[in-house]
Amino acid sequence: MSPTTLESPPASPASQPSRSLVSIGERGIEITNMDELWRFATLVAKSGLAPKGLQTPEAIFVASQMGLEIGLPLMAALQNIAVINGRPGVWGDAMLAVVRNTRQLEDFEEWFEKGPEDKPQRLARNPMDYPDNLRAICRVKRKGQEPTEVAFSVADAKRAKLWEKEGPWTQYPFRMLKARARSFALRDQFGDALRGFRSVEELQDEPKTVAGRVVEEAVVPAAPTTPLLQESAPERSQAVQEKAARPTAARKKATEAPPLELSGEPPQGETPVQELRRRVAEAGLDLERVNAFLSENVFPPLDIITDNEALAVLGQFAILAQHTGGAQ
């Protein structure tokens, strides 16, 4: 099929000279230079369809370039690259797709087994129970090389303090065991194709740091992403409220948030972070429950939240107050 072209909108007399045409082939827009990639990034940012953490043209531009370097199309790069604690990672399924695209993958196999190493019992399907010797196995063979076989067990997860960790490790433990074994095996055999990228599933288990200090456990949205702080189902609302009421012993902070102070009238030049902290204090909300609810909705705690994130929370402050012990 011969490629068609997408023409830029007519330029106004005061604008810069008209831009070049952008080709559209069988797999979508065909980027040939930085200007075209920047125009694409700007369009995606204006559309409002960019994933959380990649809403600016600059972030979209860089993520798209990262995807192109490992062979991902533009939109696939945006959907499968996530930034965790300032470091980009690739979702495990996309990591496998990148490796398959090299046409160097000769053999790939995944399975579960349990029992002693010398007499393993291979499972026909996903495990129903999780003894310490249950392990996910990933076997990868690249053309011209010896195969790599990596195991990641429940005991390994416990040693890394991942087992029973709130989130995917308690919701889908078999997927997390498999993702960890897959990530290690693919990186061992295809480090050149993956350009040093690690899997999102692995990065999300690393503690978040600020200035070298552990602040909290890294949080990443599940794929695909959904609008945050939207409460449409009463069942979900109740579940979120119950979760917010639990003790937050799993959250590891090096420092506690500074005390919130009531300020009376809103001060001039107040930043979104300052406004959010003031409104939380004025509403008498419980800080532990506020931080737990923010974490549930993929936001950092109040002491390190950014202005952009605070703006998003302020837009749904009534929901925050409803679930954390106050009124809007």
* Contact by Cβ (8 Å): 129, 191: no
For 162-202, how does the pLDDT look when each residue is reduced to its tens digit (9 = 90+)?
Answer: 998 888 899 999 999 999 999 999 999 999 999 888 888 88
For 228-254, how does the pLDDT look when each residue is reduced to its tens digit (9 = 90+)?
Answer: 344 333 444 444 444 444 444 333 333
**CB atoms near residue 44 (< 10 Å):** 22
Measure CA of the first residue to CA of the last residue in the chain; give whole Å. 57
pLDDT for the residue numbered 268? 64
pTM for the complete prediction?
A: 0.55
pLDDT for the residue numbered 291? 84
**Closest alpha carbon to 295 in 225, 219, 243:** 219
Q: Does residue 326 have a pLDDT over 80?
A: no
pLDDT for the residue numbered 20? 67
- Give how far Cα 44 sits from Cα of 39, 60, 73, Å: 9, 8, 14
Mean pLDDT of 256-275: 60
Mean pLDDT of 298-323: 80
Q: Which DSSP helix (H) or strand (E) runs through 82?
A: strand 81-84
Q: What is the DSSP string of 121-136?
A: EE-SSS-SS--TT-EE
Compare 23 and 116 and report the one with higher pLDDT: 116
- Give how far Cα 133 sits from Cα of 111, 117, 323, Å: 14, 9, 40
